[in-house]
A = this chain, B = another copy of it.
Amino acid sequence: MAGVRFQGVLVPAVTPFRSDQSIDIERWYRLCRSLLAQGADGLAIFGTTSEANSIGARQRMSAMDALIERGISPARLMPGIGACSIDEATELLRHAAGHNVGGVLMLPPFYYKGVSDEGLLRFVGSVISRAKSSARVYLYHIPPIAQVGFTLGLIERLTQEFPGIVVGLKDSSGDLNNTLAIVRHLPGFDVFCGSEVFLLDTLRAGGVGCITATGSANVDGIQAVCQAWRTDDAVRLQERATAVRKAVQQFPLVPAVKALLARANKDPAWEMVLPPLTSLPRDAEKRLHASLEAVSFSCRPMAASD
């Protein structure tokens, strides 16, 4: 297994697309490299903010090959392997494990609703055993979108059945109490909050960091909280990161983050999203920029090429 376990700020980098709806590999690579240079501890590529489920499994795998070929270290990658079928989740896990990634982020299957913990346990177990993988698996709990999630009881069973493999979770429930309950109930299990709004509270309780949509636009501001969380400056830095997040999340997150990158880099290509998402209308974009000016924030441009 690759390197040390993830902690700190992981960024589910947004994915740039070409007009033919394919991934724009060069632009994506430059963003990923820049995020690492600007303070990301890892890249949770192919998450919700990356529009991963709007990209075919095959296309995701070949794009990841290209990213690693260009020099992004697999140890810094936590690719999403979200899929509704065991077939595809297995293929994605096997592929990621073949690259010796630092870990993978695994959604529950999200088509059928109201499924049992037993069914989800068997899904995760089938994927891990069919992939013959020992790569670290981080569970991805995002009930507002997936509508299917990991209960505390299920998480515990998974850690017991797959020790050293199911090692952590991203909690995007939006419910800090849920995050804290997992942290307290499962010592040694690596819990990331899904929004930087909860970062300081998560770290203080024993969580290990956050994996957050707005990381693509404010990675240094969020990393500042991580770096200073034991200091007197922590609350001020948290308030600052929270203010930025709250300004952004008044808008649909994916197009909003892309609009910030487009403006910061004077590169409208960043605005493109894949259907069913739509770009921010011009008036919403103006309001987004005004909201951020009101909290004296502007997205940094991407780090220059070497």
Residues of A at under 8 Å CB distance from B?
21, 48, 53-59, 82, 84-88, 91, 108-113, 115-116, 118-120, 122-123, 126, 130, 144-148, 274-278
The residue on B at minimum CB distance from A20 is B130
Contacts A86-B54, A145-B111; is A277 near B59 (CB within 8 Å)? no
Contacts of A122 in B (CB 8 A): 275-276, 278
Say yes or no: A59 contacts B84, CB within 8 Å: no
Say yes or no: B87 contacts A59, CB within 8 Å: yes
CB contact between A111 and one of B54, B86, B88, B130 (< 8 Å): that residue: B54
Q: How long is the Cα–Cα vector from A116 to B275 in the complex, in angstroms?
A: 10
CB contact between A276 and one of B91, B123, B144, B278 (< 8 Å): that residue: B123
Say yes or no: A112 contacts B276, CB within 8 Å: yes
Given contacts A53-B112, A82-B111, A122-B278, 10 further A-B contacts (CB under 8 A): A21-B126, A54-B111, A56-B57, A58-B87, A59-B85, A85-B274, A115-B278, A116-B276, A119-B275, A122-B276
Q: How long is the Cα–Cα vector from A82 to B112 in the complex, in angstroms?
A: 13
The smallest beta-carbon distance between A85 and chain B, in angstroms, is 5
CB contact between A84 and one of B53, B91, B115 (< 8 Å): that residue: B53
Say yes or no: B119 contacts A278, CB within 8 Å: yes
Contacts of A59 in B (CB 8 A): 85, 87
Q: How many copies of the shown chain assemble into the complex? A: 2
Q: How long is the Cα–Cα vector from A224 to B77 in the complex, in angstroms?
A: 58
The smallest beta-carbon distance between A261 and chain B, in angstroms, is 19
CB contact between A115 and one of B91, B119, B146, B277 (< 8 Å): that residue: B277
The smallest beta-carbon distance between A272 and chain B, in angstroms, is 12
The smallest beta-carbon distance between A64 and chain B, in angstroms, is 15
The residue on B at minimum CB distance from A124 is B275
Contacts of A53 in B (CB 8 A): 84-85, 109, 111-112
Contacts of A82 in B (CB 8 A): 111
Q: How long is the Cα–Cα vector from A258 to B233 in the complex, in angstroms?
A: 61
The smallest beta-carbon distance between A28 and chain B, in angstroms, is 16
The smallest beta-carbon distance between A158 and chain B, in angstroms, is 13
Say yes or no: A111 contacts B110, CB within 8 Å: yes
Say yes or no: B88 contacts A57, CB within 8 Å: yes
The smallest beta-carbon distance between A140 and chain B, in angstroms, is 12
The smallest beta-carbon distance between A250 and chain B, in angstroms, is 14
Say yes or no: A113 contacts B147, CB within 8 Å: yes
Say yes or no: B84 contacts A275, CB within 8 Å: no
Say yes or no: B85 contacts A55, CB within 8 Å: yes
Say yes or no: B145 contacts A87, CB within 8 Å: no
Say yes or no: B275 contacts A91, CB within 8 Å: no
The smallest beta-carbon distance between A267 and chain B, in angstroms, is 22
